[in-house]
């Protein structure tokens, strides 16, 4: 085993190698090794942030300019986002295993619904979805250095404290779907900081799905929260699993069935998490 892999496995106890599992267990009895591991994790987190910023800046013209030129050129910007996501994944030794990609039909606009446990979800989504999408993003993301410059043109931004902003964002999302572009909504509304598998869903995604008669495509992201816990930048390397489920049709449904669709999606996503954990 090469030295770099040994170091990575030392950083991250989740790597499934019996020798290293024994080694990691033994560190609990050696304060020096615990301190060393904490230092290495701090250095690794610094490296992750550096990679994030450097390559975001490097690819920024390719990401940003197509969105600024016009909506129809967004697919070019999205390809650069995929390139950034791939670079971020490889240089940080964070791999994304994608399951169920065959459930995404070409030429179809979807309402992607996903759980949300970490900032590491975003690169995974970019690597999973083959076409350009427009995520619903909270306005606070615009404050993130460099990344915030991309949020406004590439996402549909919402101020959740403003009823008017929520109405405008919903109207914008529907307009995006009419142009044949898929949208992404983290249906829990924020990163899950609880011990529950899923937090309660908001109605917005399902109301839009019924009003536009577009299918819901459930997606779940597993282990991202273990590698970078919700609301923090502290990171460690490892594998993240992304599972795409079969689409949930909405043809013929009416607004009186919003709760039905929401419950159906919640049950499907919870089942996907349990089966694939």
Predicted confidence at residue 34, as pLDDT, reads: 85
**3-12, 77-86, 160-169, 256-265: the lowest-pLDDT one:** 3-12
21 pLDDT exceeds 50?
A: no
Buried b (16+ CB within 10 A) or exposed e, 14-48: ebeeeebeeebeebeeeeeeeeebeeebeebbeeb
From the options 3.60.9, 1.10.10, 3.40.50, 3.40.1130, give the CATH code of 3-276: 3.40.1130
d(CA 13, CA 10): 7
Dihedral pair phi/psi, residue 149, rounded to 5°: -70, -25
- Region 4-16: what's the mean pLDDT? 51
Predicted confidence at residue 9, as pLDDT, reads: 52
Q: What is the pLDDT of residues 170-201, one digit of tens each?
A: 888 888 898 889 999 999 988 998 889 999 99
Q: What is the pLDDT of residues 91-101, one digit of tens each?
A: 999 999 999 99
Cβ-contact 118, 225 below 8 angstroms:
yes
Q: What is the pLDDT of residues 137-152, one digit of tens each?
A: 888 888 887 888 888 8
Q: Which of 164, 270, 253, 157 is nearest to 207 (CA)?
A: 253
d(CA 72, CA 69): 9
Alpha helix ranges (H) inside the chain: 3-11, 18-26, 31-69, 74-91, 121-128, 147-154, 163-178, 204-212, 224-227, 258-276
86 pLDDT exceeds 90?
A: yes
| Residue 189: exposure state from Cβ atoms within 10 A (0-12, 13-18, ≥19) | middle
d(CA 128, CA 133): 11
% of the chain exceeding 70 in pLDDT: 90
d(CA 253, CA 210): 6
2 pLDDT exceeds 50?
A: no
Q: How many CB atoms lie within 10 A of CB 159?
A: 14
17 pLDDT exceeds 80?
A: no
d(CA 118, CA 228): 6
Q: Where are the domains of the chain?
A: 3-276
């Amino acid at each position: 085993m090469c030295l770099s892999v040994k170091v990575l496995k030392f950083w991250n106890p989740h790597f499934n190698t019996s020798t290293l599992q024994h080694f990691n267990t033994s560190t609990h009895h050696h304060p020096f090794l615990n301190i060393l591991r904490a230092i290495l994790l701090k250095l690794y987190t610094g490296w992750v942030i550096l990679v994030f910023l450097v390559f975001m800046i490097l690819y920024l013209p390719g990401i940003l300019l197509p969105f600024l030129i016009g909506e129809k050129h967004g697919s070019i910007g999205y390809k650069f986002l995929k390139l950034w996501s791939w670079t971020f994944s490889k240089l940080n030794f964070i791999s994304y295993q994608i399951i169920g990609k065959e459930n995404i039909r070409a030429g179809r606009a979807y309402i992607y619904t996903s759980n949300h446990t970490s900032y590491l979800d975003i690169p995974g989504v970019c690597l999973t979805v083959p076409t350009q999408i427009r995520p619903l993003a909270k306005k606070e993301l615009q404050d993130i250095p460099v990344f915030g410059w991309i949020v406004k043109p590439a996402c549909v931004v919402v101020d959740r404290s403003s009823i008017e902003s929520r109405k405008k964002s919903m109207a914008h999302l529907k307009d995006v779907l009419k142009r044949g572009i898929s949208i992404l909504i983290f249906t829990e509304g924020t990163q899950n900081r609880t011990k529950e598998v899923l937090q309660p869903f908001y109605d917005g995604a399902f109301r839009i799905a019924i009003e536009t008669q577009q299918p819901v495509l459930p997606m779940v992201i597993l282990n991202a929260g273990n590698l970078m816990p919700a609301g923090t930048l502290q990171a460690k390397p490892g594998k993240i699993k992304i599972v795409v489920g079969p689409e949930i049709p909405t043809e013929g449904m009416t607004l009186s069935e919003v709760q039905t669709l929401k419950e159906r999606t919640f049950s499907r996503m919870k089942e996907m998490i349990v089966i694939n954990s």
